[in-house]
Structure 1
Amino acid sequence: MKRLLKYILIASISCVFLIYALMSGFLWWSEANLPKDSGLGSLHINSEEQHKLLLIDSGKEGLKRRIDAIESAQTTIELEYFIYELDLASQIITQKLIEAASRGVEIKILVDFSAPVFKLRPQYASFLNKYGIKVRYYNTAPLFQFINIQHRSHRKFLIVDSKTVITGGRNIGSDYFDLSTHYNFLDTDIQVTGPIVKDIRKSFNSYWESSLASEPELITETITGFVNQTEVKRVLSSLDAQIFPKAEFECNNIDFVTDSPGLELKNRKVYSYLENKLASAKESVFGESPYFVLRPDGLNLLASLAERNIKQTYLTNSLYSTDAYYTVSAFLPVADNLLDLGIKLYLYNGKALEPDHQSRWGLHAKRAVIDGRHTLIGTYNIDPRSANLNSEVLISCNDNELLAKRVLSSMKSRRKNAWQLQDAKSDVYTVITKEAAWRQKIKMLVVLPLAKIFDFLL
């Protein structure tokens, strides 16, 4: 019996490593075989012209600013999102888009076709098409093409009249706009107004015209109750009654960085930009990311900063606050290494910043401040998926201490609701899993060995 168990264990481990080898090989192969586009490709645009920036931290403000932008549109609106839900927040956005379309505004929506989160099915695209709103899906590769479907567009844009854009961590869904009664995301957007928006729109068009973007088959199925007018009016009335102080700034040195359509490892512009930006740090880095999954190259990068005595502080989710327990499985084994480097790590405790919110909260912002003067906000998570598989976008405002100070203040405010991992000798596991349900702990531990092996997919 013992011998049989031994053989089963050996066979199981062998299968895992075989799958790992096959997937690694397919990942290399797919780089050469996924559709490529001869269009715009990856971009790094720098502008030293004056731009107006609006920092958006609150979810409800994020919804209000999007509504205002849509209502101001005169000619064109482009939306590109990883997730477009069918819930209350999305109904509000949809209602405003329909109203804009009725004014003659040309509207395009590009949504990623990731199976686990995809909601805007063809019947809804057909519903929008009746109002002249065009919808396309990004990367509709079938599930059996396991490697091809790993490439996703994680980009997030609302572009209006080629003049202003809202980008950052938020998708279109109630949990991104403080409207969920169960779980909400603490996130951050940046609204940019100025010349660089034309380049951002060109980037949208390159994805819209990409061979990876396709039009859904229009169907005649009737949709009822897609927009709940009563609830929409209630939320709109509530938003109108609130005053959102504007955190406005000017930026005279701004970078827009994005990846090209398709899975081309040699052309991962966002990761290479971040790598160079971090390498140029002289004093400090303060970063916030919902996930903190590091492979050896990422760990080596942070180690090189530590060797130069760069003060590093990172804020991420605990097991209790996260929406993806498997990323915590990947974070747990490297936490000690990071602490040994003198890096300060804080794990969000899942509590609301305001006492009147009772739901569980998790971090979803992707932002950093370098040397107290360079501010980076975008869609890039600290994980291999953002580095190697997804298309991402990043806005960097350089040499602007006022904006950096405001973003630092926001991150430090969230840090007050976080547990610090003190040092490598402390019980790291206890802090990471604090207040998490036993089911979450079991799931995290079960996938722990697999998370280490397949971290390049996380």
Structure 2
Amino acid sequence: MHLHPPMPVRAAPLARLACRLLAWALAMLLTGCASLPPDLAGLPAQALPAVADAPLVRTARAAQPDAELSGFRLIPSGDYGLDARLALIARARQSLDVQYYHLETDATGLHFLRALRDAAARGVRVRLLLDDLYTGGDSALLDALAATPNLELRLYNPIPLRSPKVALRFAASLWHFDRLQRRMHNKLLVADGALAVAGGRNIGGRYFFQTAGENFLDLDVLVAGALLPRLGELFDRYWNSAHVVPLARLVAPDGDAAARQARFEALTDATHAPAPRPPPPNDMLGYAPVSQELQAGRLSLIWATAQAYADTPERAIGYQAQYGGVPLQDVDSVRYNLVEGIRRARTSVLLCSPYLVPGAHGLQVLREARARGAKVQLITNSLAASDEPFVHTAYRRYRAELVTLGVEIDEVSSRRVAGSPKLPLFGAAVGRLHTKTAVLDGELLFVGSLNFDPRSEQHNTEIGLFIRSRPLAAQMLRLAQVLREQGVWRVQAGADGALEWHGEDDGAPTVLHTEPDASWWDRLLLELVAPFTPEHML
């Protein structure tokens, strides 16, 4: 005898789905408290001092006109950015300190890891620090790499579950969500304490124009001179942090050292990690590849004074500066120093951020800049160009008011930026903006990993260089002008006050009244999710 009538056949799939959801929810309740044991941090270590007879040190010091100045070279082309990193790795003799948010294990990422392995095999001390968010599916590869003598691999703010599925990793530790969503967004490579590359690029083919599909328009800067000890100090703060854990304490070694080394060799051989194609003879600024300049024993650098900042690794536990329990501004944070630079600007502000969500405070800073008579220009992704559409829902909450304030807004067109021969992404299927930079009053240049959004301000750690140099600022303004002429839509208010997008289509002036290059489905989805998008998490 049935207590309830039998379920109709057509409802069976829904019942099975409900059962699966119930089982998943129960599993998450039971496993959502997964955590790591305390005191996993590795032994402390410090950046090695530059050794005078190392080739990179000799080249850098030969170019330095004054011991108190730092040398810089902008790297706007992705293939040049990869060339610079591989050239520093290949020529390092003492040390490599490498810190990245995301290292993709495509052919480019594997080739990069193999280059680090080869450097360690030469006797170079290699310290590789990765954020743990995207490493869950790469444990076998990283374990094999970690068997290399002279190379140590550590992870920032590790997540207990090792899985390629990021959502599942978070679900398994739901009760620690606030800690786990705080990530290390820094990008830095320091070679022999003599030369460094910093900026916005992660490691992967799409950041270096090595794929035929999606590619990012980004910016790095090559650094030499007086700023190098400071960059080494910033790296050490993370390396020696209690929130950074050696891989060996998270992943049990799979086999003896020889077997793991052989496994790494097989995973990164030429069939899996072919050498990247050589860069063209000159970039947008007329420079030759860094590898060629190093081979010739010279570097084309612009010398200036500069400061470098990185957020405290204590952000992993929500650290906030305070005095007597009263919250204070963190004067060493990257966001604070960028905002203060904007506050001091009197004539012009150019801000380039792929993910642009100014928030009430950021909006007020820009409003005050306009009130002082400063020209304010913003460059960000259009809806079609963004790989984070949820961020776009928050950005557009501020867009109309920014236009009303007289702010010039240019949104990158994924189609036009990949179709212009004057831009580094010419020929790509899809082009996206990933550059994080600012030019203030035509003389202060910011280059770093910081997006102008709540995530970079409150949750992630970032690194940023502030360079006082009119020649470098002029180069960045020239790069921005080419982008604005060749690859963007200008957002303006129409006669009726509604937003319009002005640009060119097949050489003819075009005015659009909806989000450009986006399908009706993209626009509909944007409207559906916009009310539920938590701005503070973006």
Measured against the shorter chain, the TM-score band is: 0.7 to 0.9
Aligned mate of 2:529, from 433, 447, 453: 447
Query: Which residue of 2 is the match for residue 157 of structure 1?
Result: 188
Deviation at 1:122, TM superposition (A): 2.5
Q: Which amino acid letter does the alignment assign opposite residue 139 of structure 1? A: N
Displacement after TM superposition at 1:390 (Å): 1.0
Residue matched to 1:87 = 106
Cα distance in 1 for partners of 2:282, 2:301 equals: 19
Give the whole-Å Cα distance in 2 for the aligned partners of 1:455 and 1:228.
44
Q: Work out the CA distance in 1 between the residues paired with 2:433 and 2:103.
A: 19
Query: Are 2:80 and 2:279, in contact at CA under 8 Å, matched by a contact in 1?
Result: no
Corresponding residue to 2:430 among 360, 370, 377: 360
In structure 2, C-alpha distance between the alignment counterparts of 1:123 and 1:61, rounded to whole Å: 30
Q: Structure 1 371/254 Cα, relative in aligned 2: closer, same or farther at 3 Å? A: same
1:415 to 473, 477, 484: 484
Greater C-alpha Rg: 2
The structural deviation recorded for 1:203 is 1.3
Residues 137 and 213, structure 1, Cα contact 8 Å, conserved in 2:
yes
- On the 8 A contact 2:338/2:446 being kept in 1, the answer is no
> Equivalents in 2 of 1:402, 1:325: separation in Å?
35
Unaligned runs of 5+ in 2: 1-39, 46-65, 161-169, 289-299, 322-329, 502-511
Partner of 2:308 in structure 1?
Answer: 256
Output the CA distance in 2 between the equivalents of 1:448 and 1:428.
Answer: 20
Q: Which SS does the other structure have where 2:223 is aligned?
A: strand
Residue in structure 2 matching 1:229, options 270, 277, 280 = 270
CA distance in 2, matches of 1:246, 1:389: 37
Cα distance, 1:440 vs. partner?
A: 2.5
The equivalent position to 1:426 in structure 2, one of 498, 501, 505, is 498
TM-score by length of structure 1 reads 0.84
Which residue number corresponds to residue 127 of structure 2?
A: 108
| Matched residue type, 2:395 | F
Kindly indicate whether the alpha-carbon contact (under 8 Å) linking 1:85 and 1:120 is maintained by their aligned counterparts in 2. no
Change (3 A) 1:270 1:343: same
Per the normalisation by structure 2, the TM-score is 0.72
Q: Secondary structure at the match of 2:380?
A: strand
- CA deviations on 1:94-139 (whole Å, 9 max, x unpaired) are 121121111100111111112xx33573322211122222111100
1:246 aligns with 2:328: no
Contiguous gaps of at least 5 residues in structure 1:
1-34, 41-46
Which is bigger in relative contact order (C-alpha 8 A, separation at least 6)? 1
CA contact (8 A) 1:81 1:171 kept: yes
Is residue 419–residue 431 contact of structure 1 (8 Å, CA) maintained in 2?
A: no
Q: Does 1:136 align with 2:148?
A: no
RMSD: 2.4
Which residue is 2:50 aligned to? none
Per the alignment, in what secondary structure is the counterpart of residue 312 of structure 1? strand
Q: Give the partner amino acid of 1:408.
A: L
Question: Could you tell me which residue of structure 2 aligns to residue 147 of structure 1?
Answer: 178
**Correspondences of 1:7-406 after superposition (within 5 Å):** 49-114=68-133, 117-118=134-135, 121-132=138-149, 133-142=151-160, 143=170, 144=174, 145-216=176-247, 217-220=251-254, 223=263, 226-230=267-271, 232-235=273-276, 238-239=277-278, 242-244=281-283, 245-246=286-287, 248-263=300-315, 264-266=319-321, 267=330, 269-350=333-414, 351-352=417-418, 353-354=420-421, 357-398=427-468, 400-406=469-475
Output one character per residue of 1:138-189: Cα deviation in whole Å (capped at 9) or x when no partner.
0014531111112111100111111111010000111100012221000000
Give, in angstroms, the shift of residue 241 of structure 1. 6.8
Between Structure 1 and Structure 2, how many residues are aligned? 409
